[in-house]
Amino acid sequence: MTGTAITSRDNAIFKRLKKLAESARARREARMTLLDGEHLLAACLDAGGQPHTLVRAASFAAERFEPWAARCPDARCVTLPDALFAELAPVTTPTGVLAEAAWLTPPAVDAVPLVIVLDDIQDPGNLGAMLRTGAAAGATLAVLSRGCHDPWSPKALRGGQGAQFVLPMLHGVDLATWLQAFDGDSIALTLADDSDFYGLDLGGPLALVAGNEGAGVSAAVRDAATARAHIPMVGRVESLNAAAALAVAVFEAVRQRRGQSQAGS
């Protein structure tokens, strides 16, 4: 089943989808987003989501689309000419399938807190990669500042590759206030502060704070953290990419916790 054919930009369904593709405010008010491609659609379904609308590009094979329609029995199915589909897609080479879906709220994780705290991460690809890293490392929560890019934007979803469906998130948060209330250690990742990150004990409740791609962790957030630390670098470069720095830090915490667990067994 390929569903209703839409050929006009004035169609109400197309106009609604275009708003979701382009406007963080529209996504926030509706608590909906657009999923680009079969991988994100599968991730949404695997996490218990059910898309409201499935969108097929006319050039996307009907026999490839039909299994997705079968998995989404309550979804409205529509077909768009390739030119209209491209206006909704976040990439220059569209995948051929989009889905309109509600934001999901993953269940809280019952584990020693390992929180990633993101301060004004504005690049959607970086933000998605950081959420993906957190999900892969078993983080229990992601806390995003008011200045972060929308984690439910199509580009951030592509970067996250499904992380938003499995990693609990708070966004639009005053990070300094949140850190002051956090019951555990909070470490701001910086370029040149005294502590060597690899010398820290990361086994207890922990929040790792990564800052903006250019400015780093803001002064107020840095001051609210219980510690500051840098990741030592051997090569002659000034800094790591924000997403790379967070990945190094969060998996060092995972490594230490695994070591403690194995030592205690």
The CATH code of the domain that includes 41 is: 3.30.1330.30
Going by pLDDT thresholds of 50, 70 and 90, the confidence category of residue 37 is very high
Choose the final residue of a domain: 102, 125, 158.
102
Q: How many residues does the chain have?
A: 265
Question: Based on the structure, what is the number of domains in the chain?
Answer: 2
pLDDT tens-place string over residues 57-88 = 999 999 999 999 999 999 999 999 999 999 99
User: 109 lies in a domain?
Assistant: no
Residues 42 and 154 in one domain: no
Residues 215 and 195 in one domain: yes
Residues 121 and 96 in one domain: no
Residues 67 and 185 in one domain: no
Three-state DSSP class for 49? coil
| Residue 202: domain span | 114-264
pLDDT of residue 263: 61
Residues 26 and 76 in one domain: yes
Q: What is the pTM of this model?
A: 0.90
Indicate the burial class of 262 (C-beta count within 10 angstroms; 0-12, 13-18, 19 or more).
exposed
| Residue among 140, 134, 132, 137 nearest 157 (CA) | 132
Residues 138 and 228 in one domain: yes
Residues 123 and 229 in one domain: yes
pLDDT of residue 16: 97
* Residue 183 and residue 115 in contact, taking contact as beta carbons nearer than 8 Å: no
Residues 21 and 58 in one domain: yes
pLDDT tens-place string over residues 176-186 = 999 999 999 99
Residues 65 and 125 in one domain: no
pLDDT tens-place string over residues 156-215 = 999 999 999 999 999 999 999 999 999 999 999 998 767 899 999 999 999 999 998 788
pLDDT of residue 195: 86
Q: How many CB atoms lie within 10 A of CB 103?
A: 16
* Residue 120 and residue 176 in contact, taking contact as beta carbons nearer than 8 Å: no
Q: Does the pLDDT value for residue 265 go beyond 60?
A: no
pLDDT tens-place string over residues 211-258 = 987 888 999 999 999 999 988 887 777 778 899 999 999 999 999 998
